[in-house]
A and B are shown apart, each in its own frame.
Chain A
Amino acid sequence: MSLDIETVRRIAFLARIKVADEALEPLAGELNGIIGWIEQLSKVDTDGVAPMTSVADMTLTQRQDSVTDGDCREDVLSNAPDREDAFYTVPKVIE
């Protein structure tokens, strides 16, 4: 399988990473190098093998479903690159 320029453009949009038009082709080359190398996995027989879901051999612990955190609005907002009062700001999304 090989990634063409349109595929790279599509996944770059899915990942919301701007890639300049002239950078698409070299990037496709790099990604194809990696994907081509990864494809050796197709040689491994995995019939009947369950996919790993957890590397740790343990059951997730449970806790009381109670509020343990909160009342820290200023903390949460303190690193926002742009804010207005108690809100984050984003470019206009509704016309």
Chain B
Amino acid sequence: MSANLTYLTIAEARDGLAGGDFSAVELTEAHIEAIGAAGDLNAFVTETPEIARERAAASDKRRAGGEVRGAMDGIPIVNKDLFCTKGTLTTAGSHILDGFVPTYESTVTANLIDAGSVMLGKTNMDEFAMGSSNISSYYGPVKNPWRGAGGKDLVPGGSSGGSAAAVAARIALGATGTDTGGSIRQPAAFSGIVGLKPTYGRCSRWGIVAFASSLDQAGPLTRSVRDAAIMLGAMAGHDPKDSTSAPIDVPNFEAAITGDIRGLRVGIPKEYTMDGMPAEIQALWEQGAAWLSEQGAECHEVSLPHTEYALPTYYIVAPAEASANLARYDGVRYGLRVEGDSLDAMYENTRGEGFGDEVKRRVLIGTYVLSAGYYDAYYLKAQKVRTLIAQDFSQAFEDVDVLLTPTAPSAAFAIGEKMDDPVAMYLNDVFTVPASMAGLPAISVPAGLDSGGLPLGLHMVGKPFDEETLLRAAGALETAAGFDALPPGLEA
């Protein structure tokens, strides 16, 4: 019984709780047990079984009294360690936040608490969400529950790598993540699960450790499109504490998944065909279009001419914003402090020791592109190209409702690969970054296995604040793909 409980979707668990088949406490205990058996993954920075038991018991008590707060009530989830959680260590995967225990709760996790969900722990991640492999965490790499040839350890993707691994390994029913350039969608693809980045402004950024404020957006990682819709519904909503949070109502996302995509107009961006892309990814992409067409959608080619410039633009804009956001880690107000004999020396020592190599590289790049004499050539230029990238999408969306692309240019790679060349690592996000630059909602759906038996994802991009059409399309894709493979060692 207890093993089966961890294999449920959120929608199934909701129905089981409603039907009295099991309690939130039983559901939670099954997950705590599963977490204990999966320590090898290193998916957590902090496990919070006491909080989980307390919230599960409170959920059961509410339910017994006739009060249910919705679909997430009693559902065990994990939170990326980028969300500030009141009274629980929050590290952002960085040494520089040593010992930081927030005295406040991020809006998204507060919404999830209000919805009755149960937090099992805080998940490991690339330091400050900067990475596509989870290798840059101060707390060590996360292992993907999927294994490479000969049982080789693979990365789960990143930066929400611990969240993706936890959901794929059946030790949480869902997870929060954040996505700046692909950090929800790419790990979802690498781990064979669903990852949804909503429209910029759909979820409040308040209380999320900031990386690049014009790009950061919270979203769910789940095992089905329906679960992503349910969980997003609990996370989203206007928040006066985030001025960029959109003052619009949260629709019933789950109701949007009707299974009917007749007449849906799907754009296939021709610029996403890249040199050196594995043939099986190209083939899966074509298969995805065929699946949608068979269900009555109309697929046709569109052009997003500035696609190739999205990644270099991102690597100016995001580091520039990061260099400003990370200025707050000064050794004075929270986290690590390394003494020095002057104020500047204390700052330099603290930040020199507290930040890892990738974070240092990005802060330095950001500092450089914003510095006097280079601002116009790099930062201003990038913001102009960003306008062109966004215009490409708005023009395409005059003729189509959603776009279909691959999620990532490869399946999960081995831990230790792509470490020598930062730019090679950046290319992981080549298909996810353009939608981020335009603030658009996008989702990765597991769609097949490569020749090595590793999951591959397909990626769909929607119009601003039209997550409903995106979810409807993704639901149809999911049904046709029928992805039911499990990582080795897990049995249905």
Contact = CB atoms under 8 A, between A and B. Distances in A.
Interface residues of B, number: 74
Nearest to B323: A15
Given A15-B367, A31-B361, A49-B388, A41 B333 contact: no
B485 interface: no
Interface string A73-95: 00110111110000011110100
A88 B347 contact: no
Contacts of A53: 383
A67 interface: no
Given A11-B367, A15-B367, A16-B351, A41 B387 contact: no
Given A31-B361, A37-B312, A93-B343, A81 B388 contact: no
Contact of B352 (A17, A72, A81): A17
B428 to A, nearest CB: 14
B364 A52 contact: no
B435 to A, nearest CB: 11
Interface string B305-334: 010010011011000000100000011111
Given A49-B387, A79-B99, A41 B313 contact: yes
A89 B215 CA distance: 34
Given A30-B422, A46-B381, A55-B439, A38 B315 contact: yes
Contacts of A49: 384-385, 387-388
A60 B242 CA distance: 10
B380 A15 contact: no
Contacts of A15: 323, 351, 363-364, 367
Nearest to A74: B103
Interface stretch (B12-20, B243-251, B256-264, B445-453): B243-251
Contacts of B417: none
Size band of the A side of the interface?
35 or more
B312 A31 contact: no
Contacts of B247: 58, 61
Given A52-B390, A75-B103, A80 B332 contact: yes
Interface in B214-235: 214-215
A51 B387 contact: yes
Interface in B403-441: 421-423, 437-439
B420 to A, nearest CB: 10
Interface in A15-41: 15-19, 27, 30-31, 33-35, 37-41
B113 interface: no
Given A17-B363, A41-B309, A90-B346, A56 B387 contact: no
A52 B387 contact: yes
Interface string B322-366: 010000001111111101111111111101110100001101110
B351 A34 contact: no
Nearest to A20: B352
Contacts of A39: 312
B101 interface: yes
Contacts of B4: none
B378 A8 contact: no
B200 A56 contact: yes
B390 A55 contact: yes
A34 B315 contact: yes
B100 interface: yes
Contact of A55 (B200, B316, B349): B200
Given A16-B344, A17-B351, A81 B364 contact: no
Contact of A34 (B365, B371, B374, B439): B365
Interface of A: 1, 3, 7-8, 11-19, 27, 30-31, 33-35, 37-42, 44, 46, 49-58, 60-61, 63, 72, 75-76, 78-82, 88-91, 93
17 contacts: A1-B377, A27-B364, A34-B422, A35-B365, A38-B315, A40-B312, A41-B316, A41-B382, A41-B385, A44-B306, A49-B384, A51-B384, A51-B386, A56-B201, A61-B247, A78-B103, A81-B99
Interface of B: 99-104, 199-201, 214-215, 240, 243-244, 246-247, 306, 309, 312-313, 315-316, 323, 330-337, 339-349, 351-353, 355, 360-361, 363-365, 367-368, 371, 374, 377-378, 380-388, 390, 421-423, 437-439, 464
